[in-house]
Structure 1
Amino acid sequence: MAQRRVVDERAGRDGLRERKKARTRNGIRREALRLFREQGYQATTMEQIARAADVAPSTLFRYFPTKDDLARLSDYHALGPRVVELFEALPAGGDVLTDLRAVLRAAVAELPEDERRARAERDVLVATVPELWAANLGLVGEGARVLRDLIARRTGRSPRDAAVRSLAGAVVGVCVQALADCADRPDADPVEAVDEALGALRAGLEL
């Protein structure tokens, strides 16, 4: 009994330590993205990021050895696994784009407001800052592959099917364009912009 209590306490401490690390990591990235937006990627230094995040430079470099590491955002407010889970839980036979819109809205609605804002800023900046786009191009490509596989399973087609690949590519393309457009409209809601773009794509497919 005593041994189990010690194990549970150690697991609790380890869990708390990991949550604190995650908060620190996210806080650093949040301030870095703000500086990238306000003054540009090239003009932002690691020292400025450390000051903005209120951490010692040694702490910053421990989490992110280079600015390029800060620019890669695959683990920053990721939604992909939840989107896949929600999509695959839907009944078969539904319209793919209608279901995808519903799933994206549901996944974002689950986020606390501060995380929702952070995720929206992340997406807009990736779509509009060339250095962030280059750093995350692999992430965009992986998202397209995941979407392609979801569509293939939902429709009973091969992931190599031209129609499946074209639809996945169209979805990614209109989403990126919608997010890029938000950069010129400070009052725009990126979630609503993406939803509207997918609705327009759905309507376009019926022309």
Structure 2
Amino acid sequence: MKAARTPPSADRPPQRPEHRPEPGLRERKKARTRTAIRAATYRLIREQGYDATTVEQIAALAEVSPSTVLRYFPAKEDIVLTDEHGPSLAAELRARPADEPWFESLRYVLRKAAGSGTAEDPEVTRLRTRLMVEVPAVRSRMTQSMAATGRLLGQVVAERTGRAADGFEVRVLTMSLVGGLLEASLYWAEHHHEDDLGTLVDRALDVVGHGLAPGDPQAAGPSPVPS
């Protein structure tokens, strides 16, 4: 069984996730505060660089206290990294059609996530990946965050394949995915964001699926699905 580069079931509507209630006033206020802190951080980093930007400066620009900044983001590198996407990725993967080959579902969801990130705020996405290359602490924190995302994805992969979520094969596969996605982001930034990130994610999935193909790396065929 093989995973197509463009899933044949992509034109089928995904299963609709369960309705979620609208967030209350408290949750909306928290979301606004997080957004204000992040916006202030991005602005300061653009103006003076990552190392010169302090929590106190971020708090002043966001009009909150330094303790509020640290309550929302325990470390400065947490501010520039998005950490909310793991649960949504897992939910989207669960919402794919039940008869769709699971590796196709995985490709669809991860490629969609890459496209959404670059489309929603391309400048911020480029800044974040550039910091991953330039700042070891940011890269280390991103690795930890993506590992957590990998564990969430592993639970869904286990459900779809009938394996244990903590089984050796599932852990190896999901951490291979995490490593591939991280390298796709780093490669993208190192090459001045000239490539299409979605295409790099696709190529990373091909490597995870069947390893290195001989000849032109961009001429590799579709990936066989890991069993």
**TM-score, normalised by the number of residues in structure 2:** 0.64
The structure with the largest helix share of the pair is: 1
Amino acid paired to 1:91: P
Of 196, 211, 222, the residue aligned with 1:189 is 196
4+ residue runs of structure 1 moved beyond 6 angstroms?
none
Where in structure 2 are there 5+ consecutive unaligned residues?
A: 1-23, 212-222
CA distance in structure 2 between the aligned counterparts of 1:167 and 1:184, rounded to whole angstroms: 25
Between the two proteins, the alignment pairs up a number of residues equal to 189
Amino acid paired to 1:100: L
SS at 1:94's partner residue?
coil
1:64-103 matches, cutoff 5 A: 64-65=69-70, 69-73=75-79, 76=82, 78-103=84-109
* Partner of residue 46, structure 1: 54
Work out which structure has the larger RCO, using CA pairs closer than 8 Å and 6 or more positions apart in sequence: 2
TM-fit CA distance, 1:153: 0.8
* Partner of residue 3, structure 1: none
Q: Percent identity?
A: 21
Is residue 73–residue 136 contact of structure 1 (8 Å, CA) maintained in 2? no
SS at 1:44's partner residue?
coil
SS at 1:92's partner residue?
coil
**Does the C-alpha gap of structure 1 residues 128 and 202 become closer, same or farther in structure 2, counting only changes over 3 Å?**
farther
Amino acid paired to 1:189: D
**TM-score, normalised by the number of residues in structure 1:** 0.69
Is residue 128–residue 183 contact of structure 1 (8 Å, CA) maintained in 2? no
CA distance in structure 1 between the aligned counterparts of 2:203 and 2:121, rounded to whole angstroms: 21
CA distance in structure 1 between the aligned counterparts of 2:114 and 2:183, rounded to whole angstroms: 19
1:6-155 matches, cutoff 5 A: 17-31=29-43, 34=46, 39=49, 41=50, 43-46=51-54, 50=58, 55=61, 59=64, 61-65=66-70, 69-73=75-79, 76=82, 78-109=84-115, 113-115=119-121, 117-119=123-125, 121-123=127-129, 125-126=131-132, 129-155=135-161
TM-fit CA distance, 1:49: 5.2
**Does the C-alpha gap of structure 1 residues 16 and 55 become closer, same or farther in structure 2, counting only changes over 3 Å?**
same
